[in-house]
Structure 1
Amino acid sequence: GASVVLAESLGSIAGYMCSEGEQKVVGLEINANHVRAARSGVVKGICKPIYLGRRQQVWNIEVFNEQGKLCCTSRLTTAVLFE
């Protein structure tokens, strides 16, 4: 659960940073594959764009544990709303 919250937060922030003016970014879909648990320590999330369109964005987010091992890979799709 926590990995998906982190993934959605990172993707939403990235989407906002790629928006212009009064545009808003909202989540449409998120999926995640949990590879291993991160029961303690610090985790690191890396968010990269897969697709940055005018009305839609797709983000790939990977979450790693302190040893650099993949814990979760996630894909977030967002919609770009125009005012």
Structure 2
Amino acid sequence: MEIWKKKFTLEEINESSKNTATENLEIVITKLTENSLEGQMPVNEKTCQPKGILHGGASALMIETLGSFAGYLAAPINDGIVGIEINANHIAGVKKGNYVRGVATPLHIGKTTHVWEVKIYENDTNKLCCAGRITLAVIKEQI
């Protein structure tokens, strides 16, 4: 059963990221299934720490981005979302020159809060490199 209450194309979702941190880190939403949202991010000079591996803060931003887009699409038409808590467990390093792929799936979709799990995988090996969770508050959008 599809969980999305708002209908947007991938192009529309990605266009909404213009001039944001999401665009700066080159995070792109790549796939919507019935109950998950996926995206990718390059491991490059914008997302690496000085030792040439993926920066944990970039992973956290990816968790926030994928979870927030998913929460927004799953919220009622006139509702928005804001993040109220995020965590990330960094499991394995990813070297510069690769990509990571994130998958957001719901743990809880309620009237006032959502909880989304986001798993980030190294693209070439599909090895889990980060697991995170974001809690969102559902709010009435200011129109």
Provide TM-score, normalisation by structure 2: 0.56
Equivalent position of 1:12 in the other structure: 68
Q: Deviation above 4 Å: which 4+ runs of structure 1?
A: none
Match of 2:89 in 1: 33
Name 2:117's counterpart in structure 1: 60
Structure 2: gaps of 5 or more residues: 1-56
Which of 1 and 2 has higher RCO (CA within 8 Å, sep 6+)? 1
Amino acid at match of 1:43: V
Q: Tell me, yes or no, if structure 1 residue 81 matches structure 2 residue 135.
A: no
1:55-81, Cα deviation, whole Å (9 max, x unpaired): 000000000002110110001000001
Max radius of gyration: which structure?
A: 2
Separation in 1, partners of 2:137, 2:81: 6
Q: SS at the partner of 2:92?
A: coil
3-state SS of the aligned residue for 1:36? coil
Q: In proportion to residue count, which structure has more strand?
A: 1
Unaligned runs of 5+ in 1: none
Q: CA RMSD in A?
A: 1.0
Percent of aligned positions with the same letter in both sequences?
Answer: 40
* 1:16 counterpart letter in structure 2: Y
Distance in 2 between residues matched to 1:21 and 1:58, nearest whole Å: 18
